[in-house]
Amino acid sequence: MNILTLIKISWRNVWRNKLRSFVVIISVVFGLLGGIIIIAMSYGLNEERMNNAVETYLSHIQIHNKSFSEEYNIKYTIDNLEGIENAINNDIRVVSYSKRIILNGMLSNSNGSYGIQVKGVDPIEEVKVTNTYEKIIEGEYFKSEKDNTILVGKKLADRLNLKLKSKVVITFQDENYELTSLLYRVEGIFRSGNSRYDEANVFVKNNSITKNLPNFSGYHEIPILLTDIELRNQVKNDLVSKNSNNLIEGWDDISKDLAYANEMLAAVLYIFMMIILSALSFGIVNTMLMAILERRKEIGMLMSIGMSRFKIFLMISFETMFLSIVALPIGLILSYSIVEYYSVVGIDLSIVEAGLENFGVGTRLYFKVPNQEYFIVAIMVFVISIISSIFPSVRALKINPVEATKTI
Amino acid sequence: MIETKNLSKIYNPGKFEVKAVNNISALFKEGEFTSVVGPSGSGKTTFLNCVGGLDQPTSGEVIISGENITKLSGSKIINYRLNNIGFVFQAYNLIPVLSAKENIEMIMLLQGVDENNRISRTNELLNQVGLYEMRNRRPSQLSGGQQQRVAVARALASKPKFILADEPTANLDSKSTSNLLDIMSQLNEAENITFIFSTHDQRVIDRARRVVTLEDGKIVNDNKK
Ligand SMILES: Nc1ncnc2c1ncn2[C@@H]1O[C@H](COP(=O)(O)OP(=O)(O)OP(=O)(O)O)[C@@H](O)[C@H]1O
Ligand SMILES: [Mg+2]
């Protein structure tokens, strides 16, 4: 007997009890939908967090002096600056870059002090690599004629009760490890969407630093944006060959936790999906066991007239698998449509704004599901359906052919 | 030829033993049209199940054309039943999701009969049981009597050595009963097909050419007409 006949019988058997099969199929569809929406939200959040980080502070590539990464002394400026600038200016993959002086120190006023990182920037070049200027919520982005103005994050401003024009003192060690202080006035307050970043980073004009440190020249950090974030390893490798004393890092080298988050997330989501699907498979198994119980005599008859145990096993297996395999395309198409819609429109999460800001994302969440996830979910459904078909099929084989002759 | 030698089937050995079949030795020749009768619980079903290889006897042998089928292992006995024995049960004979035609064809699909032979034999059988017009109906769209006729056709489809029928008419009215028996006896006479069927029904007993009476698992009477 060919397998098509068995498949035909199984398929028709699925629809013998339409309501029951329908309920099982719908439950699998909703399980898939729920799971995929959770996947979409998780990836959406993660992606947003990553993009935020890249746009506000990581950029695609950063260059530092190797020693600077080990010890934040301001004397460790970038080596061979001219050579590097030449290289990146001539690289068509580079969209923009900027040069920063970095001071690690304390920011204090009468309300207290905070450990911060000062980014001394050229206001005009800097806007090409970060979006901080867009995130100013009070005051201005370096409009003042004066040199000694500072941009502080909202969180830090709240902590130290800083207002526009508030005076702050920045204290740091110079190249001789001597404490130096610079006075600034707050010109703008930014809110990047990542409160931890806002708490620990401030911006000043770089000439406000060089002016006060006559013996200092050079830069500590070059952030680079590329035409495509995926080019970072290529460009990085090209730069590395010219920069023995500098450390060239992609965003994922600098922020390992963000980079790992994606992989971690995938693993967690697969486990999550497995749990949903396993729960559904119990429903499927239960339905099939009921169906087999009802059809004891019929299965006994099939055995009596000579259908082999293997064929009976296959028949019940197909029947079980059909329940989830029918649900699969419905669930996937439905999920895909919903995900696509909310990947464009986004959903408003402003009720949990504070929590999201701590996590480093905005209040509108855009769904995202990498295409291969659909494929993996489909395979999972397939595997789970095969596994859940074993139990009912084995149960069916336990039926005795004499059932066919029993009157009750 | 079907022979049972000291065939016994004992349920619940030990405490509440039921000797459903008690040491039956009998012989059924080719072309016989035999009815197995007896009161309820006398062991008719159990006896037929052992003869048809559906049930393992506790002791004794069933020998069909010289082959001891009680010795056959699980998958061999299924295959043996497929190719040598036709079954008609009291109910649940047919696959509900297949049409009359497909039900008959299926047994030949299991046997691996090629398509041309399958189709011609199915049509021939449908005509023999008078259901050619209804060949595309599913069992639920057929009357009880029609279903049993499909079951007889299905049992014949595999060209078995003999057909076992356990109370094939129990659920039928008298008209359908006599109709089914007409078909069975006609097949028996015209094509020399061996039938062994159990029954309670006196009208069915009257049509049999041999009547084997069981009581408490033993043959108490064996009448050839
Ligand atoms: N699975 C079983 N376990 C225990 N006893 C059984 C079992 N099946 C049948 N019996 C007993 O075996 C005896 C014979 O039963 P069987 O069904 O063969 O009788 P029958 O002649 O076919 O009766 P009926 O005319 O009611 O169909 C009965 O006493 C019955 O109670
Ligand atoms: Mg009986």
> What is the percent of chain A with per-residue pLDDT over 90, rounded to a whole number?
63
Tokens of A361: 């994302």
Q: Is A30 or A70 the better-scoring residue by pLDDT?
A: A30
pLDDT for the residue numbered A361: 72
Q: Is the pLDDT of residue B64 over 90?
A: yes
Residue A360 pLDDT class (50, 70, 90 cuts): low
pLDDT for the residue numbered A347: 87
pLDDT tens for each residue of A59-116:
999 999 999 878 888 889 999 899 899 999 999 999 999 999 999 999 999 999 999 9
Name the minimum distance, in Å, from the CA of A398 to any CA of chain B: 12
Considering only the beta carbons, identify the residue of A297, A306, A311 that sits closest to B81.
A306
With a cut of 0.90, is the ipTM above it?
Answer: yes
Q: Is the pLDDT of residue A21 over 70?
A: yes
Tally of domains in chain B? 1
Tell me the pTM.
Answer: 0.81
pLDDT for the residue numbered A243: 72
- Residues of chain A with Cβ-Cβ distance to B96 below 8 Å are 16, 298
Asked if B54 and A306 come within 8 Å (Cβ–Cβ), the reply is no
Sheet containing strand B85-88, edge to edge, reads: B85-88, B162-166, B194-199, B33-37, B210-215, B218-224
- Residues of chain B with Cβ-Cβ distance to A304 below 8 Å are 52, 54, 81, 87, 89
pLDDT for the residue numbered A177: 84
CA separation for the pair A323, A320 (Å, rounded): 6
Cα-based torsion angle of the residue sequence B116, B120, B122, B125 in order, rounded to the nearest 10 degrees: -160
Tokens of A63: 């260059």
Asked if B110 and A9 come within 8 Å (Cβ–Cβ), the reply is no
pLDDT tens for each residue of A41-53:
998 988 888 888 8
Task: Please give all residues whose beta carbon lies within 6 A of any atom in ligand 1, as ranges.
Answer: B 11-12, 18, 20, 38, 40-46
pLDDT for the residue numbered A24: 92
pLDDT for the residue numbered A53: 87
Considering only the beta carbons, identify the residue of B54, B96, B111 that sits closest to A304.
B54
pLDDT tens for each residue of A159-179:
999 999 999 999 999 888 889
> What is the percent of chain B with per-residue pLDDT over 70, rounded to a whole number?
100
- Which of B7, B36, B44 most suits a substitution to test ligand 1, by most atoms within 8 Å of the C-beta? B44
Q: Is the pLDDT of residue A356 over 90?
A: no
Atom nearest to B9 CA in ligand 1: 12
pLDDT tens for each residue of A294-339:
999 999 999 999 999 999 999 999 999 999 899 999 999 999 999 9
Lowest mean pLDDT among A243-257, B19-33, B184-198: A243-257
Structural domain including B75 reads 2-224
Asked if B96 and A298 come within 8 Å (Cβ–Cβ), the reply is yes
- CA B6 remoteness from chain centre: 21
Print the SS3 string covering chain A.
CCHHHHHHHHHHHHCCCHHHHHHHHHHHHHHHHHHHHHHHHHHHHHHHHHHHHHHHHHCCEEEEEHHHHHCCCCCCCCCCHHHHHHHHHCCCCEEEECCEEEEEEEEEECCEEEEEEEEEECHHHHCCCCCHHHHEEEECCCCCCCCCEEEEEHHHHHHCCCCCCCEEEEEEECCCCCEEEEEEEEEEEECCCCHHHHHHEEEEEHHHHHCCCCCCCCCCEEEEEECCHHHHHHHHHHHHCCCCCEEEEEHHHHCHHHHHHHHHHHHHHHHHHHHHHHHHHHHHHHHHHHHHHHCHHHHHHHHHHCCCHHHHHHHHHHHHHHHHHHHHHHHHHHHHHHHHHHHHHCEECHHHHHHHHHHCCCCEECCCCCHHHHHHHHHHHHHHHHHHHHHHHHHHHCCCHHHHHCCC
Q: Is the pLDDT of residue B33 over 90?
A: yes
Q: Is A363 or A194 the better-scoring residue by pLDDT?
A: A194
Determine which residue's CA is closest to atom 1 belonging to ligand 1: B11
pLDDT tens for each residue of B72-115:
988 899 999 999 999 999 988 999 999 999 999 999 999 999 99
- Written as one letter, the residue type at A369 is V
Q: Is the pLDDT of residue A242 over 80?
A: no
Residues 6+ away with beta carbon under 8 Å from B35: B196, B197, B198, B199, B204, B205, B207, B208, B210, B211, B212
Taking residue A314's Cβ as centre, other Cβ atoms within 10 Å add up to 18
Asked if B110 and A1 come within 8 Å (Cβ–Cβ), the reply is yes
CB of A312 less than 8 A from some CB of B: no
Name the minimum distance, in Å, from the CA of A332 to any CA of chain B: 29
pLDDT for the residue numbered A1: 63
pLDDT, averaged across chain B: 93
Beta partners for A38? Answer: none
Chain B interface mutation, best of A4, A296, A305, A310, highest count of B Cβ atoms under 10 Å? A305
Considering only the beta carbons, identify the residue of A16, A301, A308 that sits closest to B97.
A16
> What is the percent of chain A with per-residue pLDDT over 70, rounded to a whole number?
99
Determine which residue's CA is closest to atom 26 belonging to ligand 1: B40
CA distances from B82 to A399, B106, B121 (A): 18, 11, 16
**Domain CATH code at residue B98:** 3.40.50.300
pLDDT tens for each residue of B215-225:
999 999 998 87
Using an 8 Å Cβ cutoff, are A141 and A205 in contact?
no
Ligand nearest to the CA of B212: 1
Residue B165 alpha carbon to ligand 1 centre in Å: 16
- Which of B9, B10, B11, B22 most suits a substitution to test ligand 1, by most atoms within 8 Å of the C-beta? B11
pLDDT for the residue numbered A343: 92
Q: Is the pLDDT of residue A238 over 90?
A: no
Residue B126 pLDDT class (50, 70, 90 cuts): very high
Using an 8 Å Cβ cutoff, are A139 and A187 in contact?
yes
Cα-based torsion angle of the residue sequence B68, B72, B78, B84 in order, rounded to the nearest 10 degrees: -20
